[in-house]
């Protein structure tokens, strides 16, 4: 069993993609414990306006007799529909205690009377998820040795996530960095392609580029320390304004980027306008008012990152040239004849 366990741990730590890590974790635990099911959940980040019990819980990966799979790849759903930590007693107690909680499955469970377990998943910045072992069949209760193995695996996961964060996060703001953008973009594009005609209307995913207006003047007048504080506060306001399922990036310097999920053009404009207005109304220490300009574009089914960024950047440049402190959509500027259409660049066609 030890060689197999070591091989599984080597497989987990070989992955750089979070979804692949999630899938490897549940597959490894299912194969070594053989319960009814292993589920890995992610929690919405805690915030000033969110108690621990109100944090959303999203199922990310499952392993059972049918195999291991990532659950949320196909649909980055609105977190408003997720269950909360407080919706289950076992989740609530696990989060409150910061430790494993064992509980009896209720009468509606697949194996009523089995003794299940839920473990906290912790990263360097705090609690980020829950791992649940649902016992069934010959494994009606989690043995102490297995429980210790789960806790050891979760410690290894914490160390691995720490390494990934170091390479994927901007050191100043904590947002994702430019290196992670192409992977996140590809996932959103694939989601759109799979959705196809199943989605009504024109709802899709969007890319928005946010640029701080006159940032060089801020640095020159107040110094780089205050300039960094502006960037940090803008990043925090991004995290507060956009949905937690959205991907937020610092692209370098005073430029930020957002991948917005599942919206029509009006909804996308409203989301970015809400953020732009929030920045304009915020009083920054020492500096006072700071504004941002925003350019957005729709992600096509066969889009490539460079093409989408080029379109959003064209809308951003138009906003900068026509007054700043504005949100403009590339598609709207095309309809109004204010921009020329960009040549279409598509990802390679996937035949198999």
CATH hierarchy code of domain 178-335: 3.30.70.270
What pLDDT, on a 0 to 100 scale, did the predictor assign at position 18?
Answer: 81
What pLDDT, on a 0 to 100 scale, did the predictor assign at position 12?
Answer: 77
- pLDDT tens per residue, range 139-193: 889 999 999 999 999 998 888 887 776 677 888 898 998 888 988 888 777 665 5
Q: Are 329 and 314 in contact (CB under 8 A)?
A: no
The domain over range 2-166 is classified in CATH as 1.25.10.10:
no
What pLDDT, on a 0 to 100 scale, did the predictor assign at position 73?
Answer: 47
What pLDDT, on a 0 to 100 scale, did the predictor assign at position 192?
Answer: 57
Domain layout of the chain by residue ranges = 2-166, 178-335
Reported confidence tier of residue 78, pLDDT bands at 50, 70, 90: low
- pLDDT tens per residue, range 214-256: 999 999 999 999 999 999 999 999 988 998 778 999 998 999 9
CB count within 10 Å of CB 252 equals 11
What pLDDT, on a 0 to 100 scale, did the predictor assign at position 228?
Answer: 95
CB count within 10 Å of CB 243 equals 16
Closest of 333, 338, 210 to residue 276, by C-alpha: 210
What pLDDT, on a 0 to 100 scale, did the predictor assign at position 51?
Answer: 81
- For residues 186 and 350, what is the distance between their CA atoms, to the nearest angstrom? 13
Closest of 295, 257, 233, 73 to residue 178, by C-alpha: 257
Token pair for 148: 């210790």
Reported confidence tier of residue 203, pLDDT bands at 50, 70, 90: confident
Q: What is the mean pLDDT of residues 24-31?
A: 93
Q: Is the pLDDT of residue 57 over 80?
A: yes
Q: Is the pLDDT of residue 346 over 70?
A: no
- Which of the residue ranges 67-71, 215-219, 276-280, 312-316 would you say has the lowest mean pLDDT? 67-71
- pLDDT tens per residue, range 288-315: 999 999 999 999 888 999 999 999 999 9
What pLDDT, on a 0 to 100 scale, did the predictor assign at position 40?
Answer: 96
């Amino acid at each position: 069993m030890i060689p197999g366990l070591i091989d599984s741990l080597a497989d987990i730590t070989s992955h750089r993609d979070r979804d692949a890590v999630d899938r490897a974790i549940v597959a490894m635990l299912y194969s070594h414990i053989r319960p009814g099911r292993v589920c890995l959940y992610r929690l919405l980040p805690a915030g000033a306006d969110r108690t621990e019990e109100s944090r959303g819980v999203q199922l990310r990966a499952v392993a059972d007799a049918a195999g291991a799979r990532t659950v949320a790849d196909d649909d980055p759903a609105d977190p408003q529909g997720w269950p909360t930590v407080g919706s289950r007693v076992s989740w609530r107690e696990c989060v409150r205690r910061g430790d494993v909680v064992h509980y009896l499955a209720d009468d509606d469970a697949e194996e009523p009377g089995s003794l299940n377990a839920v473990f906290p998943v912790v990263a360097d910045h705090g609690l980020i998820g829950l791992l649940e072992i649902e016992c069934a069949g010959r494994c009606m209760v989690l043995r102490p040795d297995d429980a210790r193995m789960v806790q050891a695996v979760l410690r290894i996961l914490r160390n691995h996530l720490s390494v990934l964060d170091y390479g994927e996060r901007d050191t100043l703001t904590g947002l994702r960095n430019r290196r992670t953008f192409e992977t996140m973009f590809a996932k959103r594009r694939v989601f759109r392609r799979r959705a196809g005609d199943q989605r009504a209307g024109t709802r899709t995913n969007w890319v928005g580029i946010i640029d701080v207006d006159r940032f060089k003047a801020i640095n020159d007048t107040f110094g780089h320390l205050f300039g960094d504080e502006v960037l940090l506060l803008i990043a925090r306001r991004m995290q507060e304004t956009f949905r937690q399922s959205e991907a937020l990036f610092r692209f370098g310097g005073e430029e930020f980027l957002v991948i917005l999920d599942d919206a029509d053009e009006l909804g996308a404009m409203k989301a970015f306008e809400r953020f732009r207005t929030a920045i304009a109304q915020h009083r920054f220490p020492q500096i006072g008012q700071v504004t941002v300009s925003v350019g957005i574009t729709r992600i096509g089914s066969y889009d490539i990152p460079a093409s989408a960024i080029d379109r959003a950047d064209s809308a951003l440049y138009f906003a900068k040239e026509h007054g700043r402190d504005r949100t403009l959509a590339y598609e709207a500027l095309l309809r109004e004849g204010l921009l020329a259409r960009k040549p279409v660049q598509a990802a390679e066609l996937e035949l198999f």
